[in-house]
Structure 1
Amino acid sequence: MSTPRRSTPHTGTRASRTGATRTPGTSSRGTSFSETMLGTVRLDGEDRSRPIRLDLCVTADHVLRPLGTTEAHASGRVRIAGLADDPAAAGELEISPLARRRIRYRLSFTADGRRLTLDGWKSVNPRRPVKSMTVLPFTLHEDGAPVGEGTLRFPVATGLLPFLAGFRFPRTADGGGLMAPRWRGEPGRTEVWYTTVTDPATGTGLWLHHELTAPADGSEPYAHGWAAVFPKDEPVRHARFGPEKWAGGEHGFSADGISAVPGRLTGSAGELRWDLTEQAADTPLFTFPRWSWRRPLLPAAQILPAARASYGGTVSYGSTTLQLAGAPGASARIYGHGNAHRWAWLHADLGGGDVLEIVTAVSRRPGLRRLPPLVFLRLRRAGRTWPRRAERSAVGWGGLGRFRSQIGLPTWTVTGRAGLRRIRVEVTQPDERTLALGYTDPDGAQAVCRNSERADAHVLLERWWGGWRTEREWHLDGTAHAEVGTR
């Protein structure tokens, strides 16, 4: 292949790349767009090139700066004929068409059990703007060593209009600020920080649960939680930590050597050890109405500081150590008076930047307990969230019942309609991939959750075109994160 191997360019300091920072808690506009590129790649030792395709969703936490440099997160699907089809590829883009005259791509993905990194950049040339902005020479690396070369091209004739039409500038919030504790000393409250991850290399699921409980009788608040791993071909393993006296935390959960703060999760429990970095890959997602997080009027509220995130680092259990790189997942927050009477939850990374979050529950409050489960469903596609308002899935415009759930095990379902779209979600939690754990509410009541970080999910999205037609369909085999809680 004629394309020369490239050395890594100097990227400067972090401060010069990211520019001015925002004040925590403020809002601004971000940028998101989708991009498809096609080309070929040749691996070392092979005498032929293989077709390759990238379908990416790119997000930045501010509006692109044409005269400056913007760092963005990229996620999506990498396909190499006969070698790879990874819908959980993740990495970064450095977008600097004028300041540095390049657009650099770094993406990690799994190919035939190997963890590879695609590293390349478009060299922007004002004399040849179209060619230089649409041709991406790249090198494949494995463990830092080059193992192949290739070239990707943006299909201008068929891709330019969808590419331009797909640009979005969503309002963003400081996801790191959403990790800060909400509790202000009131009795009868519980606050949760939890993280769920799928290791793309092994298929192992990970669940980290950190909880502050302030008993209703006014006794001392305490911190506790657990960690669990869901290996693909082994039994689920878990261990609890705490209870410990709650010492407070400025940025997140911190107790007895265990922490969950913006960008980092560390700790140990029993035979489990973890040290992970977390990189937000999307803007915050408010599963419940946004006002319910600011004003805790509902029995509880849940949010995701970032709808998607990628994780790197190590997770150890027994004699096994997992090396995570670009692992998809998310951290979430719960604040309220305790657990529901019964509930179900789903987090599904659908690939290509799409994500689905569902919480369906029956309240413990008198009167509300007699109602069918309320459904809070948020589907984010191409930077847009459907339904537009979280209240829509819970109460609809014509009263209760537009979205319905059937909570049970091993399978539970959610169906609903908003506007010209309707959705059906079926989640399956096989018994051998499900862990049962007890919860204690601030008032001392008990509940049992059954969690699986290797659940299956089928999602069917339809649109009305004079009749219902399939718009998108997703099948998740062991990569959905789900839970059912009962009393």
Structure 2
Amino acid sequence: MKNGSVIHNAPRFITEAGKSGFQEVWYLKLNDPGTARALWLRFTILIRRDKSKEVAEVWAIFFEHDTGRTRKAAAKQTYPLNSCVTVPASQNVFNGLRIEDNYLGEDRTNGHIHNDTTRIAWDLQIIPGAAGGHDFVPDRLRKLGLVKNLAVTVFEQQRYTGWCEVNETRYAFTAAPGMQGHLAGPQNGHSWSWGHCNCFVDDAGAPAGLIWDGLSARAKFGGLVPPALTSMFIQIGRETLFLNTVMDALRFQSHCSFDGWHFTTTKNRYSFEGNLTARLDDFACVTYEDTDGSNLYCHNTKLADMTLTVTSPEGRRTRYTSTGTTAYEVVTREPHPDIPVLL
């Protein structure tokens, strides 16, 4: 499935929250390969089923790898739901949203949040790349009503220029590669792993025109939690592959853990073997609240490594590498005992 009507940032909670609760997320991440720094931002809406909690929240995590250690600074602020103001627009058009003093648009984001120990501020210009977006949910499952949640990457490739501040220290970003996604629905899935990279180099060490975006998620059907369903987006130069049908899911051999993600699959006579590796010290754990009041724990790094080996239809085999520039998240119903919960 190529770009479709669901791949946009237009808010859903205003019309779809109804009586059953709702959660909605706009998130972005960017990496600076030259400095081993990364930034993750998250604008969220949470409306509990029983309406006991209706809030808008803004989250930030700054990552920096230096001299063998990874620094992680995290902050979150919670506001009343009416602090979220969306710019009026026609259907499926997004003109930006503001939560208190924090703004997210498709061409700029800025804001500042703090907790007891950490203040994070940012002002970033956003330039979209040529790559479009991706709908992770197989169209057949959505049409059958088996999946009610939205899970899309709106922009697979962006460039961020500006700065972020962590306490009193300012860090500059110049055309830093990044992406932006949008999630929404009456309740979160049971658990999932997600990864993204647009900072690959080829065998010669030159920047590669390759983007990889993957989600392996377990849904909830009543009291049943079936095996994970995997969906991916891969762009190689001018070739864009959407691996998001039920048949695509059946072709994946995929295993996700806190150590990383290994997968093999085929599409359009291409063969892929991916090997993502992560270190526990690089993760930051944050707590997500679901619409039923239960918690999920997002173990989040933007500094993972990855190799993606691509065999073309002509049999040409190319190995692409990312060192410390791959995003990887493992979301579970219990926190990992060796990863500190920062939020």
Instruction: Give the TM-score normalised by the residue count of structure 1.
Output: 0.58
| Matched AA of 1:433 | D
1:316 aligns with 2:170: no
Counterpart of 2:234?
379
Counterpart CA distance in 2 for 1:327 and 1:293 is: 35
Q: 1:374 to 1:173 in 2, by over 3 A?
A: closer
Identify the range of structure 1 (225-234 vs 473-482) with the bigger mean alpha-carbon deviation: 225-234
What is the CA-CA distance between 1:464 and the residue it aligns to?
A: 5.8
1:422 aligns with 2:277: no
Counterpart CA distance in 2 for 1:243 and 1:327 is: 30
CA deviation profile, 1:83-125 (whole Å, cap 9, x unmatched): xxxxxxxxxxxxxxxxxxxxxxxxxxxxxxxxxxxxxxxxxxx
Counterpart of 1:360?
216
Alignment of structure 1 residues 336-351 onto 2, 5 Å: 336-349=185-198, 350=200, 351=207
Counterpart CA distance in 1 for 2:98 and 2:309 is: 40
What is the CA-CA distance between 1:193 and the residue it aligns to?
A: 0.6
What is the CA-CA distance between 1:338 and the residue it aligns to?
A: 2.9
Counterpart CA distance in 1 for 2:218 and 2:44 is: 21
Counterpart of 2:133?
285
Give the secondary structure class of the aligned counterpart of 1:456: strand
Counterpart of 1:475?
321
1:450 aligns with 2:289: no
Contact 1:223 1:245 (C-alpha < 8 Å) held by counterparts: yes
1:255 aligns with 2:99: yes
Q: 1:470 to 1:445 in 2, by over 3 A?
A: farther
What is the CA-CA distance between 1:367 and the residue it aligns to?
A: 6.5
RMSD over equivalenced CA pairs, Å: 2.7
Q: 1:172 to 1:422 in 2, by over 3 A?
A: closer
Q: 1:293 to 1:417 in 2, by over 3 A?
A: closer
Contact 2:79 2:100 (C-alpha < 8 Å) held by counterparts: no
What is the CA-CA distance between 1:345 and the residue it aligns to?
A: 0.4
Counterpart of 1:242?
78
| Matched AA of 1:446 | N
Give the secondary structure class of the aligned counterpart of 1:178: coil
Instruction: Give the TM-score normalised by the residue count of structure 2.
Output: 0.81
Q: 1:282 to 1:292 in 2, by over 3 A?
A: farther
Counterpart of 2:46?
213
Counterpart of 1:390?
244
The alignment-based identity, stated in percent, is 23
CA deviation profile, 1:351-403 (whole Å, cap 9, x unmatched): 4432111011111223751x32100111012233214x521xxx217xx6311
| Matched AA of 2:29 | T
Q: Which runs of 5+ in 1 are unaligned?
A: 1-170
Counterpart of 1:198?
31
| Matched AA of 2:212 | L
Contact 1:287 1:303 (C-alpha < 8 Å) held by counterparts: yes
Q: Which runs of 5+ in 2 are unaligned?
A: 88-94, 201-206, 334-343
Counterpart CA distance in 1 for 2:144 and 2:46 is: 16
Identify the range of structure 1 (226-235 vs 416-425) with the bigger mean alpha-carbon deviation: 416-425
- Whose relative contact order is higher, 1 or 2, with alpha carbons under 8 Å and at least 6 apart? 2
Alignment of structure 1 residues 112-127 onto 2, 5 Å: none
| Matched AA of 1:481 | A
CA deviation profile, 1:195-253 (whole Å, cap 9, x unmatched): 10012441201100111112111345311131011012252111111143244413333
Alignment of structure 1 residues 92-241 onto 2, 5 Å: 178-183=8-13, 184=15, 185-186=17-18, 187-219=20-52, 221-233=54-66, 234-241=70-77
Q: 1:264 aligns with which of 80, 83, 108?
A: 108
What is the CA-CA distance between 1:457 and the residue it aligns to?
A: 1.0
CA deviation profile, 1:13-44 (whole Å, cap 9, x unmatched): xxxxxxxxxxxxxxxxxxxxxxxxxxxxxxxx
What is the CA-CA distance between 1:287 and the residue it aligns to?
A: 3.3
Counterpart CA distance in 2 for 1:197 and 1:446 is: 26
What is the CA-CA distance between 1:294 and the residue it aligns to?
A: 9.4
Counterpart CA distance in 2 for 1:202 and 1:430 is: 18
Counterpart CA distance in 2 for 1:445 and 1:365 is: 16
What is the CA-CA distance between 1:473 and the residue it aligns to?
A: 1.5
Give the secondary structure class of the aligned counterpart of 1:432: helix
What is the CA-CA distance between 1:260 and the residue it aligns to?
A: 1.1
